[in-house]
Amino acid sequence: MDELLQQIENYKQEVTAYNASTQDELETYRIKFLGTKGIVKTVLGEMKNVPNESKKEFGLILNAFKVFTEEKFEQLKESISANGQQVSSKIDWSLPGDPVPAGTRHPLSIVRNQMVSIFKRLGFAVAEGPEIEDDWHNFTALNLPENHPARDMQDTFYLHQNPDYLLRTHTSSVQARIMEKQKPPIRIVCPGRVYRNETISARAHCFFHQVEGLYVDENVSFADLKQTLYFFVKEMFGDAKVRFRPSYFPFTEPSAEMDISCTVCGGKGCSLCKHTGWVEILGCGMVHPKMLDNFGIDSENYTGFAFGMGVERICQLKFRVNDLRLYSQNDIRFLRQFTGAV
Ligand code: DAH
């Protein structure tokens, strides 16, 4: 029995000296002393060899040893969790999370959405068409037959493989596509990207964006056109002044261009308005009767108005962006300035 007592004494020393600074070391201690095949179980198993008269005395000693090892386990556990970082050597739960930056909408998307939503409130629906277009929808159907001089105004990209196809030069092509398959009343706006073979500079680009509008019904007049555009300017720019100038487009008769008073200098004159106080924002007019006839819409009964404007120009007036190239350079310093806008 002395041998057993000596052994317990040795184990006690071992327990006292045991140090655990990680969860793994704590677990090693638990398995060694308190596990199902651990030292405490083995020592308690020795009871069956103890003579009856000594059983009570040994029982107390063995039980005290059990309590001693258990208390040590609790102490080790506490000291590890107090020393937080060592609970797990792999993950530090107290570190702040990685920031997830919220994206921002592109300024052209912001302005296009605003433009579309203004016209939606007047009952216009959104229509879209393909960017790769055929000659008919981009030119001929719009009263621009082959060899028409106005074709030269829009330097066109033709598809190398098949020159019958081109990159649309304006969203007016969507007008043609809608009139082809829809009967009046038609009331649509067509936002989209267009392409022209221009040298890229601060003031010109080979692709840009337009919003086209078309309204065809009985008794649509030039007064309706003006009122619609007045409403648009009021919603978009507040109290900017508006003026119409006679112009020419093959698909409208009469045609006009609309200017607003410069939002940058308030009409006093600056580089944006070339010191005139006015900035042109769109072309418009009454849909040419020939165009209606092209699509089997009776021009005796129906009239319509149309307009087309550049999104970049509106964006320039709203956000003072003075270089068209900024829109497509993906410079994060430029794009970040529109955080929070919708
Ligand atoms: N398509 C013309 C352009 O790109 C803009 C335009 C002018 C559209 C008059 C129209 C319109 O619908 O009626 O320059």
Ligand 1 pocket list (CB less than 6 A): 170, 172, 212, 249, 252, 283-285, 306-308
Q: Is residue 97 in a domain?
A: no
| Ligand 1 center to 306 CA (angstroms) | 8
Do 52 and 131 reside in the same domain of the chain?
A: no
| Ligand 1 center to 106 CA (angstroms) | 24
Do 55 and 136 reside in the same domain of the chain?
A: no
Residue with the smallest CA separation from ligand 1 atom 6 is 308
Do 150 and 50 reside in the same domain of the chain?
A: no
10-residue stretch averages of pLDDT, the chain, 342 residues long: 87 91 90 93 88 88 92 89 63 87 90 97 98 95 83 82 92 97 97 95 95 98 98 95 96 97 89 92 97 95 98 94 94 89 66
Can you give the pLDDT at residue 2? 82
| Ligand 1 center to 93 CA (angstroms) | 60
Beta-carbon contacts of 128 under 8 Å, excluding residues fewer than 6 positions away, are 174, 190, 191, 192
Can you give the pLDDT at residue 88? 53
Q: Which helix (H) or strand (E) holds 42?
A: helix 39-45
Do 62 and 146 reside in the same domain of the chain?
A: no
Q: Is residue 100 in a domain?
A: no
Do 283 and 190 reside in the same domain of the chain?
A: yes
Do 53 and 147 reside in the same domain of the chain?
A: no
Beta-carbon contacts of 109 under 8 Å, excluding residues fewer than 6 positions away, are none
Tokens of 59: 């029982």
Can you give the pLDDT at residue 342? 65
CA–CA separation, 232 and 247 (whole Å): 20
Q: Is residue 101 in a domain?
A: no
Range of the domain at 260: 107-338
Beta-carbon contacts of 167 under 8 Å, excluding residues fewer than 6 positions away, are 131, 132, 133, 156, 157, 159, 194, 195
Residue with the smallest CA separation from ligand 1 atom 3 is 170
Do 328 and 214 reside in the same domain of the chain?
A: yes
Pocket test for ligand 1, best of 193, 212, 226, 303 (most atoms within 8 A of CB): 212
Q: Is residue 87 in a domain?
A: no
Beta bridge partners of 189: 126, 213
Q: Is residue 144 in a domain?
A: yes
Pocket test for ligand 1, best of 251, 259, 303 (most atoms within 8 A of CB): 251
CA–CA separation, 321 and 312 (whole Å): 9
| CA-based R_g, the chain, Å | 41
Q: Is residue 91 in a domain?
A: no
| Ligand 1 center to 176 CA (angstroms) | 12
Do 126 and 72 reside in the same domain of the chain?
A: no
Q: Is the Cβ–Cβ distance between 244 and 222 less than 8 Å?
A: no
Q: Is residue 46 in a domain?
A: yes
Distances in Å between the alpha carbon of 272 and those of 123, 232, 323, 338? 33, 21, 11, 21
Do 46 and 139 reside in the same domain of the chain?
A: no
Q: Is residue 113 in a domain?
A: yes
Do 202 and 297 reside in the same domain of the chain?
A: yes
Q: Is the Cβ–Cβ distance between 203 and 324 less than 8 Å?
A: yes
| Ligand 1 center to 175 CA (angstroms) | 10
Can you give the pLDDT at residue 101? 79
| Ligand 1 center to 171 CA (angstroms) | 8
Written as one string, the DSSP assignment of 184-218 is SPEEEEEEEEEE-----SSS--SEEEEEEEEEEET
Burial class for 307, CB neighbours closer than 10 Å (0-12, 13-18, 19+): buried
Pocket test for ligand 1, best of 170, 214, 220 (most atoms within 8 A of CB): 170
**Which CATH number do you get for residue 330?**
3.30.930.10
Do 122 and 216 reside in the same domain of the chain?
A: yes
CA–CA separation, 337 and 319 (whole Å): 10
Do 288 and 204 reside in the same domain of the chain?
A: yes
| Ligand 1 center to 104 CA (angstroms) | 30
What is the domain count for the chain?
2
CA–CA separation, 129 and 132 (whole Å): 9
Pocket test for ligand 1, best of 174, 248, 307 (most atoms within 8 A of CB): 307
CA–CA separation, 79 and 23 (whole Å): 11
| Ligand 1 center to 284 CA (angstroms) | 6
Can you give the pLDDT at residue 322? 87
